[in-house]
Amino acid sequence: MRLRQKPRAALAYLALIVPSALILVGFLWLFITSFSIRTEGLRSLGWTLSNWSFLWKSPFGPQYPSIWWVTLNTLVMSLIMTLIVVVVSSMTAYALSRMKFTGRKSFLSLTLILHAFPSVTLLIPIYFVLIWVSKIPVIGRGVPLLGGLGYNTIGGVALVMVAFQLPFGIWVMKGFFDNISWDMERSALIDGASRFRVWWEIMMPNIKPGIAALSIFSFITGWNAYLIPLTFTAGRAGKSAVLSLYLQNFISESVMTEWNAVAAVGLFQLIPVVIFFLFTQQMLLNIYGGGKKGGV
């Protein structure tokens, strides 16, 4: 109560509320604009659905991939990336949390260093790694749907995203494994189950909240990705384009007054994220904070 009576406190509230309002205004603008013929500020100068015609007619012409192809690309890329991140980080985290082996300590330190290290500085050499992977037969380019794992393929982009996400994923999952009691696993091991079976059949069902959190986090990261797809695919409107590239291509080919159509594409990309967000804010708040130090 005392906080509210002081001018200093009033100033603090103002400093919080004004920027917070700015965030909301941005979203409001996107929504209004995408359903308007034109806008002035937040005021619509007439409502329309024509901005959404990109759903059935490519705004760039028929030689470019349609929004649905691009959405499929984005979906495949995000799902593949999420799947690999979750499986690989929980395998690694399980070993780090539960097993004793030579090099454990150095591996954990390595994970921590990689977690803090800004991977984005390695984009240039990764470009060369992907070019080499492209030259490997079949794996490089020739896998259905993914295109392959090399340069200018959905799989290649997903793989780089996995690499950037992995140190974080391992760290988060280790936190979840550390919190599970040893007893359940122990009785299974005494009964003669293999480590792999214990991991898959006993541990994994017990860290469902962790799996869910990391999956949502990874999926959103993949769905939003711009820089990595931009760097490792050729051209913003190619056949491996993802939603961010499609949208950015649309923006750079439009002038300010055509932004109503662009806003509709933006809202199209934003909707799944917002839906996820509404249901999982608590989880995201936890993982963003907790993931940075010990997972819990």
Partner 1 sequence: MKRKKQSEEGGISPLSTFLKAKKWSFSRLQGRLAPYTFLAPALIVITLFFFIPLVIVFILSFTKLDITNFGILEWWRPANWSLDNYVKIFTNRFFPRILGNTLVYVALTLAFFNVGMALLIALITTHINRRVGFAFRALWLLPRITPVVVYIMMWKALAGPAPMGIINNYLLGPLGIGSGEYLLNTSPWVFVILVNGFIGASFGMILFSSAIEAIPKEYSTASKVDGATTWQTIRYIVLPMIKWPFLFVTTYQTLSLLTSFEQIMLLTDGGPGLYQTEVWALTAYHRALTSYFGNIQWGYGSAWAVVLVVIGIIMAIIYLRVFKFGELVQEPKIDRL
Q: Considering the rule CB under 8 A, would residue 100 count as an interface residue with partner 1?
A: yes
The amino acid occupying position 181 is S
Measured distance CA(21)–CA(17) in Å, rounded = 6
Given 55, 72, 79, 114, the residue binding partner 1 (CB under 8 A): 114
By CB under 8 A, the count of residues binding partner 1 is: 107
Given 49, 116, 138, 255, the residue binding partner 1 (CB under 8 A): 116
Q: Considering the rule CB under 8 A, would residue 104 count as an interface residue with partner 1?
A: yes
Which residue, 142 or 272, is less far from partner 1 as judged by CB?
Answer: 272
Residues 255-294 that bind partner 1 (CB under 8 A): 256-257, 259, 262-263, 266-267, 269-270, 273, 277, 281, 284-285, 288-289, 292-294
Residues 53-82 that bind partner 1 (CB under 8 A): none
Q: Minimum distance from CB of 239 to partner 1 (Å)? A: 19
Q: Considering the rule CB under 8 A, would residue 235 count as an interface residue with partner 1?
A: no
Cβ-based neighbours of 4, under 8 Å, separated by 6 or more: 10
Measured distance CA(43)–CA(33) in Å, rounded = 9
Measured distance CA(147)–CA(142) in Å, rounded = 5
Which residue, 62 or 79, is less far from partner 1 as judged by CB?
Answer: 79
Which residue, 12 or 145, is less far from partner 1 as judged by CB?
Answer: 12
The amino acid occupying position 208 is K
Residues 183-202 that bind partner 1 (CB under 8 A): 186, 189-190, 194-196, 199
Distances (CA, A) of 161 to 123, 223, 272: 11, 11, 20
Which residue, 33 or 152, is less far from partner 1 as judged by CB?
Answer: 33
Which residue, 62 or 176, is less far from partner 1 as judged by CB?
Answer: 176
Which residue, 58 or 261, is less far from partner 1 as judged by CB?
Answer: 261
Given 77, 146, 159, 264, the residue binding partner 1 (CB under 8 A): 159
